[in-house]
Amino acid sequence: MERLVTAHEMQQFDAYTINKVGLLSLVLMERAALACLTQLEQQSINLRHVAVCCGYGNNGGDGIAIARLLKLRNIDVTLYLIGDPTRSTAEVVKQLNIAKAYHVPIMTTLPNDLSQYDVLIDALFGVGLSRDIDGDFAAMIHTINQSGAFVMSVDMPSGISADTGQILGVAVKADMTVALAYKKLGLVLYPGAQYAGKVMLADIGIYANPSQASYYSYLPCDLAEKLPKRADYANKGTFGKVLVIAGSNHMSGAAYFSAKAAYRTGSGLVHIYTPHANRDILSTQLPEALISTYQPDHIDTSKLSELIQWANVIVVGPGMGVSAATQQILTQLLAMADQPIIIDADGLNVLAQDLTLLDKHRGPIFVTPHLGEMARLLNTNIKGIASHLVASAMQFSQHHQVTCILKDTRTVITSADNCAVYINQSGNNGMATGGSGDVLTGILAGLIAQGIDLDIAAPVSVYLHGLAGDHAAKKHGQYAMLASDIIEHLSDVMTQYT
Ligand SMILES: NC(=O)C1=CN([C@@H]2O[C@H](COP(=O)(O)OP(=O)(O)OC[C@H]3O[C@@H](n4cnc5c(N)ncnc54)[C@H](OP(=O)(O)O)[C@@H]3O)[C@@H](O)[C@H]2O)[C@@H](O)CC1
Ligand SMILES: [K+]
Q: Once rounded to an integer, what is the mean pLDDT over residues 179-199?
A: 98
As for the ipTM of the complex, it is: 0.98
User: Residues 418-473: pLDDT tens digits?
Assistant: 789 999 999 999 999 999 999 999 999 999 999 999 999 999 999 999 999 999 99
Compute the distance between CA of residue 420 and CA of residue 4 in angstroms, rounded to an integer.
10
Domain final residue, candidates 214, 240, 264: 214
Number of other residues whose CB lies within 10 A of the CB of residue 275: 22
Of residues 413, 412, 385, 416, the one with CA closest to residue 398: 416
- Domain identity same for 416 and 396: yes
Domain that holds residue 282: 220-496
- Domain identity same for 307 and 348: yes
How much of the chain, in percent, has pLDDT values that exceed 70? 99
- Domain identity same for 411 and 270: yes
Domain final residue, candidates 196, 214, 232: 214
Q: What is the pLDDT of residue 209?
A: 65
Please give the mean pLDDT across all residues of the chain: 96
Confidence at 39, pLDDT banded by 50, 70, 90:
very high
- Domain identity same for 249 and 127: no
Q: What is the pLDDT of residue 231?
A: 81
Ligand nearest to the CA of 57: 1
- Domain identity same for 130 and 185: yes
Confidence at 208, pLDDT banded by 50, 70, 90:
confident
- Domain identity same for 224 and 347: yes
Of residues 438, 434, 436, the one with CA closest to residue 468: 436
CA-based R_g, the chain, Å: 26
Residue 49 annotated in ligand binding: no
Residue 83 annotated in ligand binding: no
Q: Once rounded to an integer, what is the mean pLDDT over residues 281-290?
A: 97
Ligand 1 pocket, residue 25 CB under 6 Å: yes
- Domain identity same for 232 and 337: yes
- Domain identity same for 285 and 317: yes
Q: Once rounded to an integer, what is the mean pLDDT over residues 322-350?
A: 97
- Domain identity same for 183 and 314: no
Q: What is the pLDDT of residue 212?
A: 77
Ligand 1 pocket, residue 133 CB under 6 Å: yes
Of residues 132, 78, 131, 87, the one with CA closest to residue 109: 78
Q: Which helix (H) or strand (E) holds 152?
A: strand 150-154
User: Residues 232-267: pLDDT tens digits?
Assistant: 887 878 889 999 999 999 999 999 999 999 999 999
326 pLDDT exceeds 90?
Answer: yes
Compute the distance between CA of residue 156 and CA of residue 154 in angstroms, rounded to an integer.
6
Compute the distance between CA of residue 108 and CA of residue 44 in angstroms, rounded to an integer.
30
Sequence-ordered list of residues with C-beta below 8 angstroms from that of 377, at least 6 positions apart, any chain: 348, 351, 352, 355, 367, 369, 396
Closest protein CA for atom 44 of ligand 1: 59
Q: What is the pLDDT of residue 252?
A: 96
| Omega cis (within 30) before 296 | no
389: CATH: 3.40.1190.20
- 394 alpha carbon – ligand 2 mean position (Å): 28
Closest protein CA for atom 41 of ligand 1: 57
Residue 274 annotated in ligand binding: no
> What is the end-to-end Cα distance of the chain in Å, rounded?
15
Mutate to test the pocket of ligand 1, among 129, 131, 132, 154 (most ligand atoms within 8 A of CB): 129
Domain final residue, candidates 146, 181, 214: 214
Phi then psi dihedrals of residue 390, to 5 deg:
-65, -50
Ligand 1 pocket, residue 32 CB under 6 Å: yes
- Burial degree of 355 (CB within 10 A; 0-12, 13-18, 19+): middle
What is the count of structural domains for the chain? 2
User: Residues 15-24: pLDDT tens digits?
Assistant: 999 999 999 9
89: CATH: 3.40.50.10260
- Domain identity same for 109 and 175: yes
Residue 60 annotated in ligand binding: yes
Q: Does residue 430 contact residue 481 with C-beta atoms inside 8 Å?
A: yes
- Domain identity same for 200 and 249: no
Compute the distance between CA of residue 169 and CA of residue 76 in angstroms, rounded to an integer.
31
Q: Once rounded to an integer, what is the mean pLDDT over residues 145-149?
A: 98
Q: Once rounded to an integer, what is the mean pLDDT over residues 483-498?
A: 93
Nearest ligand 1 atom to alpha carbon 124: 18
Ligand 1 pocket, residue 125 CB under 6 Å: yes
- Domain identity same for 165 and 183: yes
277 pLDDT exceeds 90?
Answer: yes
Ligand 1 pocket, residue 451 CB under 6 Å: no
Q: What is the pLDDT of residue 210?
A: 64
Q: What is the pLDDT of residue 211?
A: 67
